[in-house]
Amino acid sequence: MTVDRALDRDVALVDLLDRLLAGGVVIAGEITISLADVDLVHVSLRALISSVSTLVEP
């Protein structure tokens, strides 16, 4: 069993993004410029995946 202290800099980005992009209070309303919409999350994760693959497999 491994335990990572979540405040450490070495928190896995993928674990952090699970929470930041799919967790947290979503506030929708005309006064916000919120990027909380699910579509965008998928778009950015796709980009993230392709970026990571590019980094790993040059």
Partner 1 sequence: MADALVYLYAVTDAGLPEPAVDAGVDGARVRRVVGHGLAAVVSSVDPVRFSEESLRRSLEDLQWLETTARAHHAVVDAAARSGPVAPVRFATVYLDDDRIRGLLAERGAEFGAALDRVRGRVEWGVKGFAVPSAAPGEPEPAPGAGPGASYLARRLAERNRAARGQEEALAAAEAVHRELAAVAAASRRYPAQDPRLTGRREEMVLNAAYLVADDEALRHVVEQHAAGTVRLELTGPWAPYSFATLEEP
Phi, psi for residue 10 in degrees, rounded to 5: -90, 20
Question: Which residue in 8, 9, 20, 11 sits closest to 45, CA to CA?
Answer: 20
Which lies closer to partner 1 via its Cβ, residue 55 or residue 58? 55
How many residues of this chain interact with partner 1, rule: CB under 8 A? Answer: 44
Residue count of the chain: 58
* Residue 26, token pair as written in the block: 């979503």
Site string (11-50) toward partner 1, x via CB under 8 A: xxxxxxxxxxxxxxxxx-x-xxxxxx---x--xxx-xxx-
Return residues touching partner 1 (CB under 8 A): 1-7, 9, 11-27, 29, 31-36, 40, 43-45, 47-49, 51-53, 55-56
